[in-house]
Structure 1
Amino acid sequence: MLSFCGKFGTCGMVQSRSSLCGVGLILLLCWSSLLIGCDSQVTHPDEVKALQSIRKALIDPNRNLSNWNKGDPCTSNWTGVLCFNHTMDDNYLHVRELQLFGLGLSGSLSPELGRLSYLDILDFMWNRISGSIPKEIGYISSLRLLLLNGNQLTGSLPDELGLLSNLNRIQIDENHISGPLPTSFANLSKAQHFHMNNNSISGQIPPELSRLPNLVHLLLDNNNVSGYLPPELSEMPSLLILQLDNNNFGGNSIPPSYGNMSHLLKLSLRNCSLQGTLPDFSNMHNLSYIDLSYNQLNGSLPSEKLSDNITTIDLSHNNFTGPIPTSFASLPLLQKLSLENNQLNGSVPSIIWQNRTLNATESLYLDLENNHLANISGTLFVPANVTVRLQGNPLCFNSNLVQLCGSQTQNIVVNRISISSNGSQCPPQACPIPYEYYASSPVPCVCAAPLLVGYRLKSPGFSDFQPYRDQFQEYLTTGLNINLSQLDVGSPQWQEARLRMYLRIYPAYIGPTNSSLFNKSEVLRIRTMFTGWNIPDSTIFGPYELLNFTLLDPYKDVIFSTSSPGISKGAIAGIVVGAIAGAVTLSAFVTLLILRLNSNRQQAISKRRHMSKISIKIDGVKEFTFQEVSAATRNFDVSCLVGQGGYGKVYRGVLADETVVAIKRALEGSLQGEREFLTEIELLSRLHHRNLVSLLGYCDDEGEQMLVYEYMPNGTLRDHISGKFKEPLSFAMRLRIALGSAKGILYLHTEADPPIFHRDIKASNILLDSRLTAKVADFGLSKLAPAPDFEGMVPSHVSTVVKGTPGYLDPEYFLTHKLTDKSDVYSLGVVFLELLTGMQPISHGKNIVREVNIAYRSGMLFSVIDDRMGSYPSECVEKFMTLALKCCQEETESRPSMTEVVRELESIWMMVPESDTKLVDSITTDPGKVVETTTSSSASSSAIAGMRHPYISSEVSGSDLVSGVVPTITPR
């Protein structure tokens, strides 16, 4: 009885009108259950107790596990608890999966995990859990996937894990695990994947691992493994990837038997303190990737024919001698040959690049720097998609080879992005957030809500992704059983030997309203394909890891747990009979509730504005009457209307003391307007900085809500860099605006109490006063930074619904919903790129961050600089661009803090010629009390001629305001 509806009193616990529709259903089910009895299926008591102990050992700051004390785990769908949909021989339900991936959990792993004796998947990936791995996990004989990667686990690996006879995959990578690799792991006969990289595992690799018949991937890179390389590993019949980079094998050599690993696809032993000569690789017929760089290997390079599958050969930073074999020219898929920093001599065989026919997506990178190479045999012609680096060789004394020996030789671009455009024929910004245009939809201009997946290839078999992009999309869509058009692979980025990307998976269904949405079952199916590692492995793409699986607003109600177990047909019949018998009584009861709640709702609405007015009596902020504001705007005359947005209309006003102000008037009944109204007053009333726009007052009178700001005569930064002003901004002006904006945001992050995340930094929210001083505006979407918890620790982020402007949104925030101070850094970085290039953040399907990154990496930085900027100091521009791109790194941790941003901008400002800085400091435009005055400043004419209101659209000109002509308003 309790397992179905809890205590009978629960049926009356209805407290909000939002749950009104559920009242009848709850009453119906609970009343019917009295007639037929509630479902008798419940979770095994031992597992219920185990889950309660597991919960006690965890710290759950985001309250993701708040329903773990409500009802039965299996029948009440506890978060992350998935159960078998039938009882076992003991007539109990049992937990099949514990999926607690990426929930922000800390604390420790409880030994009680061992009591979940039917568990198939144990998933705690990407949390902050510390402590050791309980040995009791080794007693879960049914366990197939052990997924603990991306935490802060310490201690050694328990020997008991070797008892997991059904284990297929163990992922403990990116923790702080220490101690040796247990010999007992040689008993894991069904294991295919050992992912243990990025820990502190030490000691000898157990030769006994060679007994593992099914092991496919052995990833132990970035540990403290020592001793020797066991020759016995060559006997492993299924091993495809052996990745042991950045360990210390103490001067030992690579066993010759490794040359007999005919199935091996990838051998990566980078920086392992290896000595001796190379094995004979001619029998490794499937080898596609070999990296033995940064060792002390010697002897000659392999002259025998290598596998036709080879894409990458990296033998750099060793002690190899002799010539470069011409056999490298016969490798049809070769992308990278890196032999720099050896002692090679003789000629460079140009046949290596001349013997290849490369299509538009292919490239070849040859790095032969710092050897003893004397000349080039054959022609000197190098095709455009081939890069040859020869600096540091004697042949570079030949003046004919300058183009191959320069220190600025163009680097290979491995992150080339092919950008598809959906936009020119579709209305801009027409899809409400979080919907976006589904570019590959068979129906044009469809708004869709995609699934967002953080995805990383852990050990790909190539160096350049672009030639494999189409193959990858086909591989992944086939594995997911979706259409090719449903997948968008965005912004691949190399992270050492790993390739990270953000996937967008679009729904195939197009609804009658031209919108596209997944149903719940399809969301669950796709997620299970990733989290259950049900996508077949690929030889070329190697193993993958799931970094996040983000659900946008339309999918927030999806609960990742199994449905409640089925109810018998007799029970269903009883419920139906009971439902019919009670329908009349129930409908009458619900009708009374509806009438009562509607009455309460009307009373609440009538009180709402009165309550908000009482709550915003704030010292230091003037409260204007409706009559004062009306007089300032000539009764909101249309000639004073200068802009319009989602909040409402914006007017230019002149107060009784002749002060020119900007007035935002909320739309009547606008919930968004009310939220922004209260947020702006609450924040701006206590923020005082020269680089933040000032709130002069508010009006909450006669049912109206309005905000009164200082007037900014030089409009928005977006107007200036878009070319709307006749006189463009110089580099020094742009740099000073960037510095002022950064200082305003730094104040929000470090000096405001409590600190504030702006959440909507963009060029149109940076306003310019009469001296072109930058002031950050529009705090309607801002969030307070997280407060310290009960232990005094400050959380690193605020979990919130994604808000902001496309093109400026932090990708990590967009995917994870975790807002941090670095989210503002990313948005400001986009503004910096706008200042430097004059581009828009998104235009015709092209993203400014991608486009500038491509130009920067290809050595074409100055090709994207805004030519309206005039002359500029190139060193300063390069430093400013480097800073902007650092701010726009996809990974939060890679971005600088606002303190570092301000410090670097100040450093660049000190490098600007004094004549330029003095000219900028002398700029003044008269703000005026009415917009009539001009000055003699060189910048004044442009500032007045293109005068803007803080919220005016870029189509409105200053002359319109002066003459009183009603401007054409474009909604923003």
Structure 2
Amino acid sequence: MGSSSSSSSSSSSSILLLLCVSLFSFILITHQLQPSQTQVLLQLRKQLEYPKSMDVWDKYSRDICHSPSSPQLTISCEENSITELKVMGDKSRKVSEFDGFAIPNQTLSEAFFIDSFVTTLSRLTNLRVLSLVSMGIWGSLPDKIHRLYSLELLDLSSNFLFGSIPPKISTMGRLRTLTLDGNFFNGTVPEWFDSLSKLTFLSLRENKLKGRFPSSICRIKKLTVLALSQNKVSGKLPDMDSLTNLHVLGLWDNQLDSELPVLPKGLVTVLLSKNSFSGEIPQQFDELVQLQHLDLSFNFLQGTPPAALFSLPNISYLNLASNQLSGSLPYHLTCGSVLGFVDISTNRLTGGLPSCLTSDNRLVKFGGNCLSVDPQHQHLETYCKEVHKKSSSKDIGVLIAVIGGVGIVMILLAYGFLVLYRRYCQQRASEQQLVPKALPENSASGFSSEILANARFISQTAKLGTQALPACRLFSLEELKEATNNFDQSAFIGEGSMGKLYKGKMENGTYVAIRCLALFKRYSIRNLKLRLDLLSKLRHPHLVCLLGHCIDTGEQDDYNVHRVFLVYEYVPKGNFRTHLSVDSQEKGLIWSDRLAVLIVVAKAVQFLHTGMIPGFFNNRLKTNNILVDEHQIAKLSDYGLSIITEEIEKNEAKGEGQKWQITKLQDDVYSFGFILLEALVGPSVSGRGEARLLNEMASLGGQDGRKRIIDPIVLTTCSEESLSVVISITNKCISPESMSRPSFEDVLWNLQYAAQVQATVDGEQK
């Protein structure tokens, strides 16, 4: 009986132990990352160029979720997926100045591409918290960030992001915290923030955001923190009393120039210094009973500050310095019990200093007024009173002077207009019958002389990776003649709608390509030089480098034409189209190589669109204009020429292909769609039956249609999924309805996805 009882007890213990082991194993299994999630993390680590904070993953490569957390790295997992990723880098936002540009010296290298990075991030579909601070991330944040639809917190502070804040963020309905501090965003503050109904924390400090303060922000009912300090936000600040949950309002160091608005009563911190606020401090500020920190310094506020400000029950910091406040503070002014700092210096205050401001338990600054205390650091009382009198009389005088001045100016302008009209109009009318009319300086392209002169890169990060490229310079006509043996036929390469092209050899032995353009004198020489200077600023690893230019201002046969010579680097290995053909000296490119070319060209085009203000469109996108250098690197040529030609390529096709010709060359997405089509079917797309081929594009969804149309090299070297992705985006690009075409960003994302899929398949087959 005892033996049986012992055996039963032993059996129960074994079962209990087995259950515990099974439960523990189950817990481990349920918290172990999916292999795909681990691969995403390792890919992110590679794209971020192996930050030190991620070195700990080397020890936990099989179970990254259980790696120890630190201030530099935190990762959380739930149900085999990553839900939280926080990384703090060591790449500060310090920049150096060179030639008028701010050059980030702590960015990731030129190999980093933010589109690919965000594409990788978007595979973490269950991510709720993402914080990547001081990582050196640079580029224009792509709209595809919205694919992280589960995000509740997004923090990309202290990086080098530029351009506009992506509009698609407005669709991230779960977002509660958005922090983009310390970047180079330079668009306007978006109007769509109110679509983020759960947003409680919005911080865009220390950027270059401009434009008017969006009133839509006042409709974000749950907002508790709003920080837009150190930007260039201008105009009127609307009443904000509807933001009943707002505790922190930080708008200091902007260009706001209205009167102070009505503020919500629950505010704890208000930072409005270094703006241009005017008028008096509203009496409504007496109701801010939760207020602890108020800074209104360095504005143009007038009048006597409300006495109740000093006695607010929770106020501890009050800064009213460097305004135009006047009048006298009451001697029996009451100060709040926790008020520890007061600055009323550099105003126009008179009278004595109230007794509560002389207390030893608080710091008070009051120099630069006309107070009766500490005369060594005060102005004479007449100074403050005279200023007040002058300002009052000056307002009336200015008004009278302005009215009188406007009247005189209008009379003079009217008289001058009549004189000029009589003297020149009839003469100009007769001249216009003989001489073609020149276009105005701010011609149809939208590039005014002012824009041309002030055009700048959104960020110097746009030049990263191009430091080795030579600076653009002016060439003399004699240099170019010597390089081409006076433009001898032996140096002639080809001719197209954009002029003749010659191969030249410079004195130092460097080979160049020289494009000769004959341009109607629609611009002055100055305006033409501005346009060429803007074109010369384009530097990208996948753009054929413009080395310089020459404007022939000598005697010419046609007095109405400028001769312009553009000098480019010479790219020796032919164009993309020849590398697609099996008839070329080398076998046609396989699918993965074609994708690689398409992606780098798409990157170059996206740079042309977004890397400069204003962007460059109508970039003559053709396979013939994609060149391959001796290192098998693809580069786009003939880009940006619309800025000086403003000519749209004419339809030169005849017969069957006439309807197929690109009639909207200004749409780079549409043009790029035909590059994709040619990459799919081979160079025959440009030679025969283009209309018929487009009609058959619909059949590419089936295997029979693909076998009939797709280039055999592609069919034998591609995966089905990769090919389907490219076919789909090609169909969208060449849609006859422009509104149906994808953004260039979407085109690039699809190509990168197709390349990733293909790389995975190729890796499995090795």
TM-score, normalised to structure 2, is: 0.39
TM-score, normalised to structure 1, is: 0.31
Q: More helix by proportion, 1 or 2?
A: 2
